[in-house]
Structure 1
Amino acid sequence: MPRLFQPNKAKPITPVFNVADLGNGEAEITLYGEVMEESPKDYWSGESLDGVYISVQEFNEKLDSIKDASHITVHLNSCGGDLFAGLAIHNVLKALPATITVKVEGIAASAASVIACAGDEVVVMPGSIFMVHSAAAFLFGYYNSADLTTMCSQIDACNKSIVNVYAAKTGRDIAELSELVEAETWLIGDEIVDAGFADTLDESSTSTTEVDEDGEGIVTNGLHHDVSAFHNLPTARIAAAMKAGRPDTDKVTTEVEGDNPAAADAHISAAPPQAAEKEGEDMDYESLTLDNLRAERPDLIREVENAAATAERERIAAIDGIAASVPADMVEDAKYANPMDAAQLALAAMQRDAQARAAYVADAKEDEDDSGAEDVPAAPEPSEEEDEEAKAKAEVADAIAYVKKIGA
């Protein structure tokens, strides 16, 4: 499927996807995360996977609760995702009778930039990031030239729909916008307004961004985004915007490797406000939550999550390795319901087998005792008549043998 890869208030909004009726005709929608048709689920268990997602399915389900609102504020912080999902959300927002205000509280990139353009008013901050680029498709398998030609036509159609959305918002020429899309254009702060994608620059609010050292991820307002698929991430301009918009400019650092300006640009980062506030202070562990830790130490959270995911994959693979010798119900239970590793599963299977054998022997002994087999003789004893006849036959045989002996 063609894919566009992937608020500030006084108190930052928790990075979630949510719809809320505030009363008096006011409502808000929080769109933090990856844009998808539906939230991903575990292939085996069917359970929803952990993550921050904006799904069309859930969006439509929740939207009914604010259908009577006259003004809706959309808090947006997303690096994009599925183009078709982004277009669907954009079209639904445009069709609402309410006036829509979109606040880019971090980043609106790729498919999320399409969603942003649904706003009657789009508000950005000095540190807000906006990115447009052409659609891309992930291919897996074997394709002939006709298949690829069809795919190219589909991608071209997607690009036309993207540019049409941008043109409707900005009023700019289609050809000019197409050049921006093809070039993967990044805009920051007032550049977004100058380009026509936003209407208002809110200088009273801030949007913070931290760039990973490897340049493959950014953290905007506490939410991590994977930007490894993009090509022109403007790390130097992002850092400059962070430095210009914050009084604690010493938190913006540049690590220069030799005389290579590109290396310096790749290592520019800005600390999020939560980390700046905590620096030099003792951490209040009683008030520490996962969300706070995720905002303050996204690198640590990612490291822990990646390690946990790797360990889980290895655990499942090890269980699959011994699954042929273990009952299927125990394998399923060990994977999901009552998680255990392969060694624990093997021991549990041996214990269960031993218990089954012991139960079989006990049942067989009980059946034997109940049958009365011990009281049954090995062979039936002869009756008195049979005994007398046997004695007579024996005497006759002895007599015959004696006569033969004498005759001899």
Structure 2
Amino acid sequence: MEKKTKPARFTNAVPATASQANNKFWNFVDSGGDSAELQLFGTISSEEDWWSDDCVTYRNFINELKALGDKKNINVLIQSGGGDVFAANAIYTALIQSKATITATVIGLCASAATIILQAASTRRIAKNGVLMAHNPSVTLYGSYTSAQLAKLAEVTDKVKESIMSVYRDRLGKTDDEIKELMNNESWYVGQEAIDNGFCDELIEDSFQNSYTDKNVLTANGIGYNFKNFVNTFAPDEVRKKVQNLSKTPQKETGTFSNTPTTQKGNSEMGMTPATAAPAIQDAAQLRTAYPDFVNQIVEEAIKAERDRLKDIDSIANGIPNDVLMKAKYEEPLSAADLALAQLRANNQAGQKTLNNLTDDLANSGAGSVGTVPNVGNDGGSQQKAEQREAKVGGLVNALKGDKRRGK
């Protein structure tokens, strides 16, 4: 049997688990009346799944949207790492062509292709600790391809990027060069940053744990989504820290989203800027997040000071035992001045001890009590020389005993 070659798939998504990939990624909640809710969770599936025959695709989504009938308002809740670009584009088009007013809320993560769907909303909101990420599309291959086919796929991938840019261009208020740059850089935005960069319009002051969740877990279509550590597996460290810091707020027993409009330039206070409370700092990570430039300055100054200290110690190292040097450098750090003073004191004590030992040795040697024994045949001159030597030794002992430099 001839092996079937799977078509290339163009995706714009953060890594997804296998359990998310083939599940229905949306849920319509129609409670009657003029409004409905759309919960968009998980990976956005492609038109054809490679691994299963019962894949739920965006065609089912469009059919369910039409089945809602004429609604005045559709509230979209987004917690998605993205997925198939073509599916996201189709959902985007279906939403903007509907008669309903679309309001979208990022309650956790809105990444990659999910940001396309977000732009279909006339009002785009994000939780203060919600995360948005935009980057370039990629192509997933399964099968055998020639170099010409791969070159063609590269061209198509660029066209896919242009389709994403066309959506961003209408909503972000950025130039094409700016949009290309943020996609090339894989840009991550937390809360207010998504508003500042044109992806959202309003900030939800409550963190996403406060609403639509029970014990930080939201269930849709029988699938549980744990939001507590939702960025831990793929977001950069600085993004995780921002989310954690913004999530450390008292949780309400029963909370609902409250909106804060986008900050506008100017106010009714004659140009005065309202005072902003300083963030509460509880550890080094929060300090670095709140004041990165200040922390970096402190670190740089500390490194320079330590290098200078070690250089100064090296400049006076001659004559100092190596074990003393190592202790002063690393175990019990000393400045060069303190080390030099300590070594001078050690040298003085060692010299005084040597002098004391020499004096004691001479005093205890009995040299002072040694007399002269005349030898037969010695003349008076020899005895006189012996007496002179005895006098010199005794004088040296007495001189040492009277030396004021000796310790007691």
TM-score of the pair, normalised by structure 2: 0.50
Partners of 1:4 and 1:111 within 8 A in 2: yes
Q: How does 1:9-408 map to 2 (within 5 A)?
A: 17-37=26-46, 43=52, 46=53, 55-207=57-209, 221=227, 233-247=235-249
CA spacing shift, 1:224–1:246, aligned 2, 3 Å: closer
Deviation at 1:171, TM superposition (A): 2.2
Deviation at 1:224, TM superposition (A): 5.7
Q: Distance in 2 between matches of 1:35 and 1:251?
A: 39
Partners of 1:20 and 1:66 within 8 A in 2: no
Partners of 2:231 and 2:240 within 8 A in 1: no
CA spacing shift, 1:183–1:41, aligned 2, 3 Å: closer
Partners of 2:129 and 2:242 within 8 A in 1: no
1:5 aligns with 2:7: no
Deviation at 1:5, TM superposition (A): 1.9
Q: Distance in 2 between matches of 1:223 and 1:85?
A: 27
Deviation at 1:138, TM superposition (A): 1.4
Q: Distance in 2 between matches of 1:196 and 1:91?
A: 20
Query: 1:286-312: per-residue Cα shift (whole Å, max 9, x none)?
Result: xxxxxxxxxxxxxxxxxxxxxxxxxxx
- The farther-off stretch of 64-73 and 237-246 is 237-246
Seq. identity, %: 28
Deviation at 1:238, TM superposition (A): 2.5
Q: Distance in 1 between matches of 2:281 and 2:135?
A: 33
Deviation at 1:2, TM superposition (A): 1.1
Deviation at 1:183, TM superposition (A): 1.0
Partners of 1:104 and 1:128 within 8 A in 2: yes
Partners of 1:207 and 1:220 within 8 A in 2: no
Q: Distance in 2 between matches of 1:165 and 1:220?
A: 30
Partners of 2:46 and 2:83 within 8 A in 1: no
What residue is the counterpart of 2:365 in the other structure?
A: none
Helix, strand or coil: the match of 1:137? strand
What residue is the counterpart of 1:290 in the other structure?
A: none
Partners of 1:125 and 1:207 within 8 A in 2: no
Partners of 1:239 and 1:252 within 8 A in 2: no
- The farther-off stretch of 144-153 and 176-185 is 144-153
Deviation at 1:207, TM superposition (A): 4.9
- The farther-off stretch of 73-82 and 197-206 is 197-206
- The farther-off stretch of 102-111 and 140-149 is 140-149
CA spacing shift, 1:243–1:224, aligned 2, 3 Å: closer
Q: Distance in 2 between matches of 1:130 and 1:71?
A: 24
Helix, strand or coil: the match of 2:180? helix
Q: Distance in 1 between matches of 2:149 and 2:82?
A: 26
Partners of 1:105 and 1:221 within 8 A in 2: no
For the pair shown, the structure with the greater C-alpha radius of gyration is 2
The number of aligned residues is: 228
Deviation at 1:65, TM superposition (A): 2.9
Partners of 2:10 and 2:85 within 8 A in 1: yes
Deviation at 1:62, TM superposition (A): 1.2
CA spacing shift, 1:4–1:187, aligned 2, 3 Å: same
Q: Distance in 1 between matches of 2:71 and 2:84?
A: 27
Gaps of 5+ in 1: 7-14, 211-218, 255-408
Runs of 4+ in 1 over 4 A off after TM superposition: 38-43, 222-228, 248-254
Helix, strand or coil: the match of 1:172? coil
Deviation at 1:205, TM superposition (A): 4.2
Partners of 1:33 and 1:79 within 8 A in 2: yes
Helix, strand or coil: the match of 1:142? coil
Letter in 2 for 1:170: L
Helix, strand or coil: the match of 1:22? coil
Query: 1:102-145: per-residue Cα shift (whole Å, max 9, x none)?
Result: 00011110111111111100000111111111110112343333
Q: Distance in 1 between matches of 2:233 and 2:241?
A: 16
Higher helix share: 1
Query: 1:318-347: per-residue Cα shift (whole Å, max 9, x none)?
Result: xxxxxxxxxxxxxxxxxxxxxxxxxxxxxx
Q: Distance in 1 between matches of 2:283 and 2:114?
A: 27
Deviation at 1:61, TM superposition (A): 2.2
Helix, strand or coil: the match of 2:44? strand
CA spacing shift, 1:16–1:178, aligned 2, 3 Å: closer
What residue is the counterpart of 1:332 in the other structure?
A: none
Q: Distance in 2 between matches of 1:146 and 1:16?
A: 35
Gaps of 5+ in 2: 1-8, 15-23, 211-215, 217-224, 251-279, 286-408
Query: 1:172-229: per-residue Cα shift (whole Å, max 9, x none)?
Result: 1111111111111111100000001000001034359x9xxxxxxxx7626968966x
Structure 1 vs Structure 2 CA RMSD: 3.3
TM-score of the pair, normalised by structure 1: 0.50
